[in-house]
């Protein structure tokens, strides 16, 4: 007989890391404990502080989870997705399920005394390179963009850099010449051959995206992310098929069926996010879909602690890791809540080898910030 355990408590709460953190800078955490006191932590997407997902965990998922076997990760995910599907399979519900799933995998690893990647079938690598994701550039001048990129490039020595527009999604093609000028200036800064990505954050029409994409091809960018609105799956596919540069999408995709729709439309690099859809269980399903379709899986992931470490376990378990892992926030602002916060060494993160996620939570520090 293997370990036998039951879920005793499920807590969902927001953590404020520094006084005055706006909602998007807070974390949406889930803490699950078994009847024998084994504790697992998960995380939901922190959009608007993640309160929508935390509310679903607290009101709907927790009562259904208490008494269940924490090892039944896949059954619990599908049971709860289908029971509460009318809350919206988009975003709020799948973020809640992702947080629960990550916490349950943390428990599973601790119960079995193994790191998550071992339970996923083993690791192909012991470290994962990362790219620095640098946002907010629509509001910057060309010179300001270069300054911000240069600071992280020199300080961190990441394996690649992605610059994000982060503009107003309700205005398309707002400043195409300016966007191209920033892409050109960043290329001039880092030199030819250094891997760069460009994230449109859904800011272009199909025609505008083709224009920017051609410029990025000439500048030797490695990928062009979310060129058009995420809900325009056909348009995303058209841009991907008309350009030579790799076009990526699907960080705002919340079901495996929607992921397949994006691939069928013509997108050849997809970016589902472990804290937005399915957690570890869901991302491994995405991995199988991508492998079967010959599509690059490069998960979106902006949370530097629980989400990041959960992502690292999955990336370690992939045969083909074609691009570095996303890493958005190198500020260390959440370090106090963890005894062994993940830190890159020369642009690479070691894959945790301790049981579960391998992240040691300082419960007293987290409780102070709840």
Give the binding site for Ca ion (CB under 5 A).
Answer: 199
Do 98 and 275 meet the contact criterion of CB atoms below 8 Å apart? yes
Torsion 63-68-73-75 (CA) sign: negative
**Could you tell me the smallest distance in angstroms from the CB atom of residue 37 to Ca ion?**
39
- 318: tokens are 């992939």
Cα angle: 68, vertex 257, 276; to 5 degrees: 55
What is the number of the residue whose Cβ is closest to Ca ion? 199
Q: Classify residue 125 by burial, with Cβ atoms within 10 Å: 0-12, 13-18, 19+.
A: middle
Instruction: Report the DSSP beta bridge partners of residue 20.
Output: none
Residue 108 or 323: which CB sits closer to Ca ion?
A: 323
**Could you tell me the smallest distance in angstroms from the CB atom of residue 47 to Ca ion?**
13
Residue 30 or 138: which CB sits closer to Ca ion?
A: 138
**Could you tell me the smallest distance in angstroms from the CB atom of residue 125 to Ca ion?**
24
Residue 235's closest CA among 216, 214, 208, 259? 208
**Could you tell me the smallest distance in angstroms from the CB atom of residue 205 to Ca ion?**
18
| String of DSSP letters for 53-66 | HHHHIIIIIHHHHT
**Could you tell me the smallest distance in angstroms from the CB atom of residue 138 to Ca ion?**
13
DSSP reduced 3-state for 12 = strand
**Could you tell me the smallest distance in angstroms from the CB atom of residue 133 to Ca ion?**
8
HEC assignment per residue over 126-195: CEEEEEEEECCHHHCCHHHHHHHHHHHHHHHCCCEEEEECCCCCCCCCCCHHHHHHHHHHHHHHHCCCCC
- 234: tokens are 């056909």
**Could you tell me the smallest distance in angstroms from the CB atom of residue 335 to Ca ion?**
25
Residue 199 or 296: which CB sits closer to Ca ion?
A: 199
Q: Classify residue 82 by burial, with Cβ atoms within 10 Å: 0-12, 13-18, 19+.
A: exposed
């Amino acid at each position: 007989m293997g370990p036998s355990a039951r879920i005793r408590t499920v807590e969902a709460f927001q953590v404020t890391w520094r006084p005055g953190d706006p909602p998007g800078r807070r974390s949406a955490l889930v803490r699950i404990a078994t009847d024998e006191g084994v504790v697992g932590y998960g995380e939901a997407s922190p959009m608007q502080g993640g309160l929508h997902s935390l509310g679903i965990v607290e009101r709907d998922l927790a009562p259904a989870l208490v008494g269940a076997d924490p090892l039944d990760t896949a059954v619990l995910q599908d049971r709860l997705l289908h029971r509460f599907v009318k809350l919206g399979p988009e975003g709020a519900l799948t973020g809640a399920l992702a947080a629960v799933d990550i916490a349950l995998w943390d428990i599973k690893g601790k119960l079995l005394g193994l790191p998550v990647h071992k339970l996923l079938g083993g690791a192909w690598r012991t470290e994962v390179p990362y790219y620095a994701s640098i946002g907010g550039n629509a509001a910057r001048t060309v010179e300001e963009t270069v300054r911000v990129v240069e600071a992280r490039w020199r300080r961190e020595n990441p394996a690649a850099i992605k610059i994000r527009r982060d503009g107003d999604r309700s205005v398309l093609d707002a400043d195409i010449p300016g966007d191209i000028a920033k892409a050109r200036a960043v290329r001039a800064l880092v030199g030819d051959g250094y891997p760069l990505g460009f994230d449109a954050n859904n800011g272009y029409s199909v025609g505008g995206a083709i224009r920017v994409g051609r410029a990025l091809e000439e500048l030797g960018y490695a990928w062009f992310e979310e060129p058009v609105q995420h809900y325009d799956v056909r348009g995303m596919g058209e841009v991907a098929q008309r350009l030579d540069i790799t076009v990526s999408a699907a960080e705002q995709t919340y079901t495996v069926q929607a992921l397949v729709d994006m691939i069928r439309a013509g997108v050849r690099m997809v970016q589902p996010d472990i804290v937005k859809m399915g957690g570890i269980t869901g991302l491994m399903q995405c991995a199988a879909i991508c492998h079967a379709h010959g599509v690059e899986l490069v998960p979106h992931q902006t949370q530097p602690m629980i989400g990041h470490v959960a992502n690292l376990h999955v990336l370690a378990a992939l045969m083909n890791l074609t691009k570095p892992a996303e890493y958005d926030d190198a500020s260390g602002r959440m370090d106090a809540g963890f005894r062994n916060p993940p830190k890159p060494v020369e642009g690479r993160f070691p894959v945790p080898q301790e049981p579960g996620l391998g992240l040691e939570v300082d419960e007293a520090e987290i409780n102070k910030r709840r």
